Structure 1
Amino acid sequence: MSKIKRGVSLYSFQEELFLGRMNVEDCVSFAASIGATGIEILPEQNMPTFPNLSDAQVEEWKAMVARHGCHFTAYDMFLDTKLRKDRLMSDDEQVESIVRDLRLCNRLGIRNMRVLVFVRPDILGRCVPYAEELDVHMGVEVHAPWHLEHAWILRTIEEADRLGTKHLGILPDMGIFMKHYPPAFRARFERQGARPEVTQFIVDQHEAKIMAEYTIYEVAVKMGGNKAEVAMAETLRHAPYANPKRIADYAPYFHHIQAKFYEMDEDCTDPSIAYDEVIDALVGCGWEGTLSSEYEGNRWIQDVHEVDSREQVRRQHVMFERLIVQSEARHAGKEAALCSTST
């Protein structure tokens, strides 16, 4: 039986939160209604008094999620190295900022902290003693165009191995598994003036996994691409398809996943991200953690119709349930076949 759990990042409801159509508790209540009881929070966005929370406020936040049968699963930290007006933050100031987040993370009872990808591994290494003391796993976000085997990501893993710690690792963003170009992206660029024959060329190039720079050159120079067409081609720099089969090699380094998606079809399938392959790999290696929905499709459709983040998230969780059950059955069948062969 798979131990994969389901949750939602509050970032999924950025449209409704910004417009005042939902508040944080509405988001938590909705997540509970679809069985996604793990809540990933962005304190800088979701907590008005951040970073100054009294003990009473911390207890109020914990009680709020508990009221709905939910719990916090991850804390998204931000490190603005340009926080000082006249200079960049010093290394000591960066460590101080991260430790501040680790302490609040611990106070909220959260054991996973998402770290932005640009934070240097040596800075995180200095934070490890605090993470170990507070029992918080610092997971560097593996966000496109980076991938699991990118040299920068491997530096963090090497730092964790060097220190022999279980409190530093990675936190994959599923945008790195974009197998097909998102239809919502293409439609938006066509509304901005991209010609269908050019957008089809870009989609075909992505499908063939042609290097992005080649496609950008073809569109901008050889095809005389207009502004929308060149912009669409440039999105290929951030639309990688990493190999899901490598997930098992890195599973010991992550406990939480940001389940990025841009759109879900009416039949509850994702037209772009290879979730069938990803979930099969997770089930196959026995990964234990939370798949946390991160809907980012609002910005691609808000010019033509109202955004319904709740329906999009609901559909993703229908897909998760289906794929997890299918993968469990597939792997159980494989184990049964191996047992019958060995006897």
Structure 2
Amino acid sequence: MSKIKTCVSLYSLQDEYLNHRMNLREIMQYVKEKGAEGVEILPDQMLKGAPDVSEETVQEWNAMLAETGLKPVIADVFLNMNLYKNRLLTHKECVDLLVKEIKQAHRLGIHLIRLVSMVPYWVIEPLLPYCKEYDVTIALEVHAAMAFDIPETRAFIEEMKRVNSPYVGLVIDTGIFCRKFPRVVRAYETLNGTSEQVFDYIDTLFEKGTDLHRVLRENNFQYPAELEKAIQSEHDRMFVPLCDGYENLDFSVLDEYMPYIKHFHFKLFEMTENGEYSMDYKGLLQYLHDHDYDGYVATEYEGNRFTLPGHPMAEKEQVAAQLSYIHKCLDEIQG
């Protein structure tokens, strides 16, 4: 029997926060009111001084958790290896930065860290003693265009399996399970000058059960004749690689990784009356239920970046709609 729980990544409400329509306390109260059980935070986005937050900030965070009853589920961590103009960070510098994040998560009562895609595998072993000491798990995000066929992701997974520790795992982003190309992306990018023919071609790939990411790799990164015909301008040619990040994988790709999966990002581009336009949330929730998943599925709204000029930001409405739909699906699936 699965124990799927709902969560909201506060990344989903970043415009509300950035433009001071809502502060962190108001955001947390909102997601709780809309039915979320847990919260996912990007500390360097919403906590002053991260990863060296003050004791006052920690106390304020704890107070917000107590007020809302939200579970502090996961912290999103980025490893910026390009801090200097003339070199990448050394291995030791990378590990030291991530140790700071582990200690911060511990102070915030968070036991799981999402490492952004492409974090190198060699951080795992030196971080393990700190993960154990502070009871914080590290998990690499498997993201569209950076999923299971990418060498860096494969290397992390191989090392994860080798160390075989409960403190190392994966976070799955559902952008790898698109069943249609998001129409909000099409509307926004068409307005920016991308030709309709490009999107018509990509739509045919999804109709065939594939995607641009797969087709490009099957063709050794050469554009198929149909795509060349669809490209109408130099703008189109520059934009096409950005469409690589919407994959159409079968849920069964997760079969071998289920023991390692710690968390899910339920990517959200556009909620409709029948669910998310481009993804089958209910099908994935059924898959997770059938595989006894015991963890959170987090709302991660990214349709905000495709808001058309003159249209209102719909972060709050989209988050609320997704939570409502997921709870409805879980009621039907879990009983």
Question: What TM-score, normalized to structure 1?
Answer: 0.88
Match of 1:222 in 2: 229
Residue pair 1:192, 1:228 contacting (<8 A) in 2 also? no
Q: Which amino acid aligns with 2:102?
A: L
- Alignment CA distance shift 1:227-1:306 (3 Å): farther
Residue pair 1:263, 1:270 contacting (<8 A) in 2 also? yes
- SS at structure 2 position matched to 1:305: coil
Match of 1:21 in 2: 21
Match of 1:315 in 2: 321
- Alignment of 1:238 with 2:242, yes or no, is no
- Alignment of 1:254 with 2:285, yes or no, is no
What CA distance in whole angstroms lies between the structure 2 residues aligned with 1:205 and 1:94?
39
Aligned length: 328
Residue pair 1:212, 1:236 contacting (<8 A) in 2 also? no
- Among 283, 294, 299, the alignment partner of 2:289 is 283
Residue pair 1:247, 1:281 contacting (<8 A) in 2 also? no
- SS at structure 2 position matched to 1:320: helix
Match of 2:5 in 1: 5
What CA distance in whole angstroms lies between the structure 2 residues aligned with 1:192 and 1:83?
31
- SS at structure 2 position matched to 1:72: strand
Residue pair 1:9, 1:293 contacting (<8 A) in 2 also? yes
- Among 297, 305, 310, the alignment partner of 2:311 is 305
Percent identical: 29
Residue pair 2:197, 2:230 contacting (<8 A) in 1 also? no
Match of 1:190 in 2: 190
Residue 248 of structure 1 and its aligned partner are, at CA, apart by 3.6
* Greater C-alpha Rg: 1
Residue 228 of structure 1 and its aligned partner are, at CA, apart by 5.0
Match of 2:114 in 1: 114
Residue 207 of structure 1 and its aligned partner are, at CA, apart by 2.6
- SS at structure 1 position matched to 2:40: strand
Residue 120 of structure 1 and its aligned partner are, at CA, apart by 1.1
What CA distance in whole angstroms lies between the structure 2 residues aligned with 1:255 and 1:147?
16
Residue pair 2:4, 2:294 contacting (<8 A) in 1 also? yes
- Among 313, 326, 329, the alignment partner of 2:332 is 326
Structure having greater relative contact order (Cα 8 Å, sep ≥ 6): 2
Residue pair 2:82, 2:89 contacting (<8 A) in 1 also? yes
Unaligned segments of structure 2, at least 5 residues: none
- Alignment of 1:295 with 2:309, yes or no, is no
- Alignment CA distance shift 1:300-1:212 (3 Å): farther
Q: Which amino acid aligns with 1:64?
A: M
Q: What whole-Å deviation, never above 9, does each CA across 1:191-248 have from its counterpart, x for those lacking one?
A: 2334445432331123322544369554663345125544553333111112212324
What CA distance in whole angstroms lies between the structure 1 residues aligned with 2:45 and 2:233?
36
Match of 1:130 in 2: 130
What CA distance in whole angstroms lies between the structure 2 residues aligned with 1:154 and 1:195?
35
- SS at structure 1 position matched to 2:271: coil
